[in-house]
Amino acid sequence: MSGAATPPRSPGYARRVRVGTGPAAAWRGLVAVAGGTTALLLATAGGYGYHRDELYFLRAGAEPAFGYVDQPPLTPLLAHGLDLLLPGSLLGLRTPAALMAGLVVLLTGLLAREFGADRGAQVLAAGCSAVSAIVLAVGHLLSTATLDLLVWTAVSWLTVRALRSGGPGWLGVGLVTGIGLQNKLLPAFLVTALLIGILLVGPRSALRSRWPWLGGLLALLLWAPNIGWQVAHGFPQLELSASIAAGSSGTSEPWYLFLPFQLVLVSALLVPVWAIGWWRLLRTPALRAWRCFAVAYVLLALLFMVTGGKPYYLAGLYPVLLAAGAQPALDWARAGAGRHWALAGALAFALASSSVLMLPLVPADRLAATPIVDIHYDAGETIGWPRFADTVGRVRASLPAGERVAVLARNYGEAGAIDHFRPDLGPAHSGHNAYWDWGPPPDDASTVIVIGYSEQELRAWFGDVQPAARIDNGLGVDNDEQGRPVWLARQRLLGWPELWPRLRRLG
């Protein structure tokens, strides 16, 4: 495929690269690929169980605010609204994520059209997006990363169109960016990197119009409620970012693994497609108007690597790169006998491997015998939460009915599982992220059921600490909770006003 980096100088190719006036959109093919992606995600949505983040969002959304210490409010509010509409439905909670993933696939194909791709290449771009590991991973769960991937893809598509046509199209960029900033702060990095790219490599004339600046103002106005919340609370997300960079998150990786991870976010076999796409955006004269995307990719890769960002933070630019690389990849496949089978095989292998790793296709009782949890951390975090909550429930049932008991968990997933599956035991308490803001256990709780803390920690805070149970998901899956002790703690040595600040933890 390396030869595809230099396009053939044929009349057909010249017609294709006259962007904006090129082939019509391959709507049937694009809708079929996007719809198939959504259908696959819906069919597997009920597998395993809730993810720890989803359980956290359900509780956070029930505590509405303009922001939380670890995120803006959009995804928690969406999760809470869906749970009110369809109580306890995992399929209902994850349906928007499946639809968002389908839209990412569709927009990838439409981006390819903007870059002059013919109908076949548009469908190929959408197909590369559909089989990518990151799209299937975030499309299976309702998470901030799900909406963020869609926002980056939509902002990219709207920016490509605005750089071509100018005018009020920039308001669409501002609108989607502003909405995205109510979900995650990463869109701010995208638009900043694109702005720097435009200043460095053009087209600088786009910035002489009032429309990009009006779009930026619109984004700021939509973001303003969360900005105000952050200011009022001392910008806790800065502290959170430092904590994540230090490795506090389960999906954090060392800086030196950031670039290797980029090779598997789509699929190792499809790296040539997006790599050629990056090169075309940087060097092809017909795509000069969008050279800023190639620059933005490098700037963001360096920024996230140096600051300890997670590898998937860069995922939102791969739809653009796949879209730019689809036509050369298809031309390469058309140019030689058997090449189309190689390309089809790469797509099929990517779909199979991404599906097995990122979707709950392996039965839960066989998961521990596979390397899936070691490769895909989030798979393990969807296992065992009902059993976890029932274990805590059995500990509570062993105590006198009239005894005032509270539950203290080390992390928001554990606390969220109690609140969702055993609300009779709650509300649960935790010092982790926004749970800390919701306050400590009541003063009159003479007994505290504690999960996740060590005996040494607890004996510094309580005079009587006894083991009561041990968490076992029953499947042998080595996730974050497996094997953790459950403690009964009594005779608190410190008052909650003094103890609670010591339990605060961001990450």
Which DSSP helix (H) or strand (E) runs through 492?
Answer: strand 485-492
Shared domain for 393 and 466, answered yes or no, is yes
- Concatenating the DSSP letter of every residue in 12-57 gives HHHHHTSTTSSPPP-HHHHHHHHHHHHHHHHHTTTSS---HHHHHH
Looking at residue 21, what is its pLDDT? 53
Omega within 30 of 0 (cis) for the link into 203: yes
Shared domain for 292 and 426, answered yes or no, is no
Q: Is residue 118 part of a domain?
A: yes
Cα torsion 362, 367, 371, 376 to 10°: value is 80
- Tokens representing 162 are 């605005």
| Distance, CA of 102 to CA of 192 (rounded, Å) | 27
| Distance, CA of 87 to CA of 62 (rounded, Å) | 13
Domain finish residue from 358, 377, 406: 358
Shared domain for 114 and 215, answered yes or no, is yes
| Distance, CA of 84 to CA of 5 (rounded, Å) | 51
Q: Is residue 7 part of a domain?
A: no
Residue 362 is classified by DSSP as S
Q: Is residue 296 part of a domain?
A: yes
User: Please, which residues have CB within 8 angstroms of residue 312's CB and are 6 or more apart in sequence?
Assistant: 134, 138, 145, 251, 261, 265
The answer to whether 226 and 68 have CB atoms below 8 angstroms apart is no
Q: Is residue 380 part of a domain?
A: no
Shared domain for 348 and 444, answered yes or no, is no
Cα torsion 156, 159, 165, 171 to 10°: value is 130
Shared domain for 222 and 329, answered yes or no, is yes
Evaluate if pTM is beyond 0.85.
yes
- List of the chain residues with pLDDT < 70: 1-22, 247-252
- Tokens representing 60 are 């956070």
Shared domain for 260 and 407, answered yes or no, is no
Q: Is residue 19 part of a domain?
A: no
Shared domain for 338 and 413, answered yes or no, is no
- Tokens representing 487 are 């403690």
Shared domain for 306 and 419, answered yes or no, is no
Cα torsion 23, 29, 31, 32 to 10°: value is 180
Domain finish residue from 316, 343, 358: 358
Shared domain for 117 and 257, answered yes or no, is yes
Q: Half-sphere exposure of residue 301, counting CA atoms within 13 Å on the CB side?
A: 17
| Distance, CA of 140 to CA of 135 (rounded, Å) | 8
Question: 335 is in which domain, residue-wise?
Answer: 25-358
Q: Is residue 479 part of a domain?
A: yes
- Tokens representing 204 are 């600088």
Domain finish residue from 312, 340, 358: 358
Shared domain for 341 and 396, answered yes or no, is no
| Distance, CA of 114 to CA of 117 (rounded, Å) | 7
Q: Which one-letter amino acid corresponds to residue 301?
A: A
Q: Is residue 16 part of a domain?
A: no
Q: Is residue 142 part of a domain?
A: yes
Count structural domains, the chain.
Answer: 2
Q: Which of 141, 181, 82, 66 is nearest to 437 (CA)?
A: 66
Shared domain for 234 and 287, answered yes or no, is yes
Looking at residue 1, what is its pLDDT? 40
